Amino acid sequence: MVGHTHEDIDQVFSRISCHMKHVDAPTLPALLHAIGDSTTPSPQVVNLEGIYNYKATLENVRGMIEGISGPHQFMIKKKEGKVILHYKDWPIDKSYKTLDIHERIPEDLSVEPVLMNPKMKEEAKKMENEIEKWKMSGRLGEEEVLWWRNYLKLKVMKPNVPKVNQLPKYKPPVQNPHIINENVIQAIQLAEEKEKKRSNLKLKGRKGVKKTRK
């Protein structure tokens, strides 16, 4: 669920932040190498040279479902040649509700790369004018100057990420109940009880304030 999956990510970025306080990274390759050395096991670090513009591809199907903000868990499956959306309010609910969305799926799902922001060229020009100052101040060596001059040419790169249909299929994790700590089980049970509660808002009476009517 959104809002409950950030602890591990926060910890990884915390280690990166602490590590970078003691490491110089004047170029992107140096930064990627430093991030890889920041924690154990070493994180897989990839420079995304381009991404696909899924937002533009799916623009025509935005808003096709009403009440989308209510459910907290979704699952989309293709059954008997049709695309079906399964959803439920909370993970602890016993069963999913379904919605046939097959007819609303666009026939053409060709995805184009995201175009470069025109402002990038302006910023790259400003940075290129500063390279000589960085070199004179000792912040950049000769090899690093060459890297920056080549990088700031802003070559158009194809996305180096797989498309959605090329990603591996999701496999639910297999859990062994015997290795789960009793404290964890208790915390899960308390969370489940909390999710069953429903809010009931009321206005409190204000002491010393007389009610008047006009």
104 domain residue, yes or no: yes
Residue 209 has pLDDT above 60, yes or no: no
Q: What share of the chain has pLDDT > 70, as a percent?
A: 85
What was the pLDDT predicted at 87? 92
137 against 5, higher pLDDT: 137
For 60, the token pair is 């025509």
* Final residue in a domain of this structure, among 97, 112, 127: 112
Together in a domain, 124 and 145:
yes
Residue 71 has pLDDT above 70, yes or no: yes
3 domain residue, yes or no: no
62 domain residue, yes or no: yes
149 against 202, higher pLDDT: 149
Number of domains the chain is built from: 3
What was the pLDDT predicted at 12? 85
What was the pLDDT predicted at 10? 83
Over residues 116-133, the mean pLDDT reads 92
18 domain residue, yes or no: yes
Which has the minimum average pLDDT: 50-54, 61-65, 90-94, 133-137?
61-65
Together in a domain, 105 and 89:
yes
What was the pLDDT predicted at 180? 65
Together in a domain, 124 and 93:
no
Together in a domain, 26 and 56:
no
What was the pLDDT predicted at 147? 95
Residue 97 has pLDDT above 80, yes or no: yes
Together in a domain, 100 and 118:
no
What was the pLDDT predicted at 24? 92
Together in a domain, 57 and 105:
yes
Its domain, for residue 125, covers 114-157
What was the pLDDT predicted at 175? 64
176 domain residue, yes or no: no
Together in a domain, 17 and 28:
yes
Per residue in 156-206, pLDDT tens? Answer: 888 888 887 788 887 777 766 666 677 778 888 888 888 877 666 664 555
What was the pLDDT predicted at 179? 62
Average pLDDT over the chain reads 83
197 domain residue, yes or no: no
Is 0.85 surpassed by the pTM of this model? no
Over residues 124-129, the mean pLDDT reads 94
Together in a domain, 106 and 119:
no
Together in a domain, 70 and 106:
yes
147 domain residue, yes or no: yes
Together in a domain, 108 and 130:
no
Together in a domain, 43 and 77:
no
